[in-house]
Amino acid sequence: MRGVVLVLALAGLVACGSPDDKPPAPTSPPTPTLTTPPTVTESFSLSPLLDGATCDLVERDLRARLGLDVEGSAYARDGIHTCTWEEDGMSGIGLTISVRSESDPLGDDYDHPDAQVTEVGGFPAILVAVQPDFVCDIAVKTAPDQGFTVLYGALDQTLDSCGGARMVADQLAARVREG
């Protein structure tokens, strides 16, 4: 569902951009397809992600590497704290992070036909490449019924959406582990 929302948001952006504005992102191949939801072996509090503003969680230099030179828009509802960054222009680059303090972040994705088991910062995770060069969704479980999701993509299909989502997820996982 989050992938559909971002795809629609990205598709709605119409403006001019430069082909030189393509963000670099490394490729991180996922592991085999998921058949049962992963579980955490060691729980970590989400307090490092909830102590400040959600939009401050992704550092400016990382957002710049992802092609996002805009301020984020934050909202919170039902134990989910979310921030979305959307770059205007032909690239249609967008990033959404959601920190879930009261619901399993893997619940939306574990039975998706394209779900892949992976690990982010030592935490169980699921990666769903809606279209590998278009939109990628990573859900990370840090404790029972807690974790975060990262959704990254662009209309410009030359960027590595899963590599970009992985970089953001790695940064958030490191903050959780550092406490």
H helix or E strand, kind and range, residue 178: helix 161-178
Question: In terms of pLDDT, which residue wins out, 1 or 104?
Answer: 104
Q: What global pTM score does this model have?
A: 0.75
pLDDT tens profile 6-45:
433 443 333 333 444 445 444 444 444 445 666 777 777 7
> Could you name the CATH architecture of 2-12+30-178?
3-Layer(aba) Sandwich (3.40)
5: pLDDT strictly greater than 50: no
User: Once rounded to an integer, what is the mean pLDDT over residues 77-99?
Assistant: 87
Nearest to 162 by CA among 17, 19, 1, 3: 3
